[in-house]
Amino acid sequence: MKKVDSETKVTRLCGYALKYGSDKCPQIKHYYTPYYFELFESRRETVKKVVEIGVGEGASLRMWRDFFPNAMIYGAEIEDKRIFEDEQIKVFKCDQSKIEDLQQLLKNTGTDIDLFVDDGSHKSEDQLFTAVNVVPMLKKGVTYIIEDVADDTL
């Protein structure tokens, strides 16, 4: 993968992140969108289902919706005030540290997910718990991404 620096070109995905205020783009905070663009540009039309844990105000869900025009975008959020539905977007209540919530999330979305993004609690124990419990239930070929990985024991 190409090195990303402060001179990174604003891709279509970066543009959507900027439009909605998602911190996934380098112009706001993180350097995720240039990598995601490279990874998914050729699959934009074929991705049908995206799930993201941790939706905040919904900026990244709207970014994904615009980037993947044929996909249903699902969110998982622990805070009630952030549960919403919009065109091609549906957010479910989910605590990623609870197996029953993760199982219910996958029951609601189905397991035929193309892209699964963990941008939830950012706690390593929750990230590991989610991955260990969710990945075995997903279809072969899913792209599973954990954002904001850090050693939070320091």
Q: Is the pLDDT assigned to residue 63 strictly greater than 70?
A: yes
String of DSSP letters for 48-89? -EEEEE--TTSHHHHHHHHHSTT-EEEEEESSGGG--EETTE
Cα 26 to Cα 28: distance, rounded to the nearest angstrom? 5
**Hey, what are 85's tokens?**
């539905």
Q: Is the pLDDT assigned to residue 83 strictly greater than 80?
A: yes
122 flagged as catalytic: yes
% residues pLDDT > 90 (the chain): 72
Which of the four pLDDT bands, split at 50, 70 and 90, describes residue 154?
Answer: very low
Q: Is the pLDDT assigned to residue 29 strictly greater than 50?
A: yes
Question: At which residue do the structure tokens 């390593």 appear?
Answer: 124
Q: Is the pLDDT assigned to residue 4 strictly greater than 80?
A: no
Give pLDDT tens digits for 33-51: 999 999 999 999 999 999 9
Question: Of 6-20, 94-108, 116-130, which gets the smallest average pLDDT?
Answer: 6-20
Res 119: pLDDT: 87
Question: At which residue do the structure tokens 């540009």 appear?
Answer: 41
Residue of 82, 90, 93, 122 with catalytic role? 122
Exposure on the CB side of residue 142, measured as CA atoms within 13 A: 22
What CA–CA distances, in Å, run from 110 to 17, 24, 48, 107?
26, 26, 12, 5
pTM for the model: 0.89
Helix-, strand-, coil-residue percentages of the chain, each rounded to 5: 40, 15, 45
Q: What is the pLDDT averaged over residues 81-96?
A: 96
